[in-house]
Amino acid sequence: MNWSHAKRFWTLSLLGYLAVMTAVVLLLVRTRDEQIARLSQPRAQDAWQDWRSAAAEQADTEGPVQRKTPQSVEPPALVLLRDHFGVVLAATIVFGTALLAVILIAVHGVLARTQLAHLHGKGQRAQKEGSRRSGEPEQ
């Protein structure tokens, strides 16, 4: 892959990366807002309290595993999205970047190898044609 092809590839890759990560972040923010609104409703709060009550009853029973009653009075998803969204967003960006980087490096390697094989094939054909013209035996 020559310099102009590589430059074009990485420029398009950067633009694609920015487009994908922008879409992911916007979708994550929109989903966060929707879920906070849903989990803040009294019905969701009641469902969480019912689950906590059932967990407390199971904690009192004997068995091979001792269940602990959750301490939070709010659903964990609500706490995560409301209080720790910065960590969720940072993790999404870091892992998304790592995944896209691996994919782009692999694609760049495949394209470079394909172009190198193509150029190498042209060189071998030109060499064979030159040896035919000069009367040298083919290798």
Segments making up each domain of the chain, as ranges: 3-134
Q: How far is CA 37 from the centre of its chain?
A: 26
To 5 degrees, how large is the angle CA 51–CA 53–CA 55?
Answer: 70
The per-residue pLDDT for range 14-65, each reduced to its tens digit, is 999 999 999 999 999 999 999 999 999 999 999 999 999 988 888 777 777 7
- 111: which DSSP letter? H
Residue 90 is which amino acid?
A: A
Q: In which band, very low, low, confident or very high, does the pLDDT at 124 lie, cut at 50, 70 and 90?
A: low
Question: How does pLDDT run across 79-99, given as a tens digit for each residue?
Answer: 999 999 999 999 999 999 999
pLDDT of residue 58: 82
pLDDT at site 93: 97
Alpha helices in the chain (DSSP H): 3-39, 42-59, 76-83, 85-134
Averaged pLDDT for residues 102-112 = 90
